[in-house]
Structure 1
Amino acid sequence: MQAIKPILRWAGSKQRLLPSLSARCPRVFNKYYEPFAGSAVLFFHLDPRRAMLADVNPDLINFYRVLKRDPDSLHELVSNISVGERAYLRIRKRFAEESDPKLRAGYFWYLNRNCFNGLYRTNRDGYFNVPLGKKLPPMPSIDHARACAKRLRKASLRASDYEKVIGEATDGDFIYVDPPYRRASSRDRGEYGPGAMEDADLHRLMSALQKASDRGALILFSYNADVSAHLPGWRHEIVNGRYLISADPQRRRPISEYTSYNYSLEARL
């Protein structure tokens, strides 16, 4: 197995926490489930033999489906679009109106590469409204796109609510759960897209996880708040990361990431 980086930028990405997360993953499992896929950092790192990637954001799942089928033409489409304020606003407008899955996936990728901090935010009418970023990362290479597509061919992809996906996992399956961060304020800034889990949904998520655990599923949960009271009998640890969703670098302070898992690390082998 050779770890590869995800192809998308995404709010709340766990790229900087991979060493800590992978050290807490079970070594042997049946099928991998990720109900809050986002950039699917851990999936691309682990490269499981069978997987289910799901997210409530249909544009994210459409992008993965198109990339999975035809990375070459999708990469060519995006690479041929110029980068700049005028081009960005033009593509943002087209994205709001486009219905063709391939073109929509291409516009989604272009906006993701060039918007501020890789956010997926929409207005009340559902239109993507993130502004152009300043320090933009280079376009991923065609080899990177092909490598991600190859791994995606081992996965089923679904635009779905997390509860349905978690409900499918059975004995010996591994679920990695990385929901949107609990907010420090009551304001929803839309960093995770429309329909994303809100703080009020936490009880429903905890109930779904406990039921999956009772069925024998192996579960690793990461969050920016302590949920140990909701998951009695699980193992709970804190790992360190950095908060990246801020225009001011001085505010990207270190934070604590809470992890919970329902298996013994000593018995993973």
Structure 2
Amino acid sequence: KIDIQSDVEPKEYYYKKREIFNDKIMKSEYDIELASLFIYLNKHCFNGLYRVNSKGLFNVPFNNSLAKSFNEDNIKAVSGYLQKVTILEGDFEVACQNAQEGDFIFLDSPYAPLNDNSFEAYTKEGFDIESHKRLAILFDRLTKKGCFCMLTNHNTVFIEDLYKNYSREVIKVRRYINSDASNRKGEEVIITNY
């Protein structure tokens, strides 16, 4: 449980909780307190962004929000639903190795860079060009198995080339995370094999 202290400024409180969260990450203390800190930080960080530095520590700044940190009914409903769900941690190829014909699989990878200066590294491990190529090969394998696959990404020539044999729907999007407000519009593509 996270105690809310009315005598501490919200920004100062946020950074104290972020420090505790990162300390628990460094100590591999994956417990209920870490989960509650994650929910709090996600609600009060800039745009709900999850990003870490090269050491794997959460480094998103405070969003100046005084919004409620959680919805108890929603958390209980999600908890009930998750009792019937298997969550896998690890490489995407391993996560999909038991996929069977008729399964629906949504692949939500980090987006490919728009250009050489694009920021795309939200985790310390990153998701490089080779990872995108491996994902496209997995998409092909899952298609041959008879799985229904969908993924989204930036609408770039690189992504178009990787998925040229599949259905592609280009959509206009408004981005909420960009240091330059004039660059918050773009195109994404929804790729499906059905």
Structure 1 and Structure 2 fold alike (TM over 0.5): yes
Q: Are 2:49 and 1:119 equivalent residues in the alignment? A: yes
Deviations 1:93-138 (A, max 9, x none): 1112221511111111111111112222222222222211124543
Tell me, in whole angstroms, the C-alpha distance in 2 between the residues paired with 1:137 and 1:248: 25
- Where structure 2 has 5 or more consecutive residues not aligned to the other structure, the ranges are none
- Contact 1:182–1:225, Cα closer than 8 Å, also in 2: no
Q: Does 1:87 align with 2:19?
A: no
Q: Which has the larger radius of gyration?
A: 2
**2:164 maps to 1:241:** no
Residue from 154, 161, 166 that aligns with 1:229:
161
Q: For residues 177 and 119 of structure 1, do their structure 2 counterparts lie closer, same or farther at Cα, with a shift above 3 Å needed? A: same
> Would the aligned equivalents of 1:236 and 1:261 in 2 still touch at CA under 8 Å?
yes
- Give SS of 2:146's match: coil
Letter in 2 for 1:240: K
Please tell me whether the aligned partners of residues 91 and 107 of structure 1 are also in contact (alpha carbons under 8 angstroms).
Answer: yes
CA contact (8 A) 1:119 1:191 kept: no
2:64 to 134, 142, 162: 134
Higher relative contact order (CA 8 A, sep 6+): 1
Instruction: Check the 8 A contact 1:116/1:131 in 2, yes or no.
Output: yes
Asked if the contact 2:155/2:170 (under 8 Å) is kept, the reply is no
Are residues 152 and 184 of structure 1, via their aligned partners in 2, closer, same or farther at CA, if it must alter by over 3 Å?
Answer: same
Residue correspondence of structure 1 range 5-44 to structure 2 within 5 A: none
| SS at 1:163 equivalent | helix
Distance in 2 of aligned mates of 1:174 and 1:212: 10
1: CA distance between counterparts of 2:39 and 2:163? 37
Provide closer, same or farther for how the CA distance between residues 190 and 96 of structure 1 changes in structure 2, counting only shifts above 3 A. farther
Per-residue CA shift, 1:127-153, capped at 9, x if unaligned? 222211124543332112122222222
Cα shift readout 1:50-78 (whole Å, capped 9, x = no counterpart): xxxxxxxxxxxxxxxxxxxxxxxxxxx24
1:250 Cα offset (Å): 4.4
CA RMSD of aligned residues (A): 2.3
Please name the residue that 2:193 is paired with: 262
8 Å Cα contact 2:178/2:184 also seen in 1: yes
Q: Is 1:244–1:252's contact at 8 Å kept on the other side of the alignment?
A: yes
Bigger shift: 128-137 or 108-117?
Answer: 128-137
Check conservation: 1:167, 1:212, Cα contact below 8 A: no
Q: Match for 1:127: what amino acid? A: L
* 1:69 corresponding residue in structure 2: none
> Alignment identity in percent?
26
1:153 and 2:83 are equivalent in the alignment: yes
The Cα offsets for residues 24-69 of structure 1, whole Å up to 9 and x where unpaired, read as: xxxxxxxxxxxxxxxxxxxxxxxxxxxxxxxxxxxxxxxxxxxxxx
Give distance in 1, aligned partners of 2:43 and 2:69: 7
Please name the residue that 1:51 is paired with.
none
Q: 1:190 offset after TM fit, Å?
A: 6.1
Distance in 2 separating the partners of 1:189 and 1:257: 16
From the superposition, tell whether residues 224 and 137 of structure 1 become closer, same or farther in structure 2 (CA, over 3 Å): farther
CA drift at 1:221: 1.5
Note closer, same or farther for the CA distance 1:207–1:159 as it changes in structure 2 (3 Å cut): same
Q: How many pairs align?
A: 185
CA contact (8 A) 1:166 1:209 kept: no
- SS of 2:169's partner is strand
SS in structure 1 opposite 2:41? helix
1:206-239 Cα offsets, whole Å, 9 max, x none, are 0111011111111012111343432344211112
| 2:193 maps to amino acid | N
Question: Structure 1 129/213 Cα, relative in aligned 2: closer, same or farther at 3 Å?
Answer: same
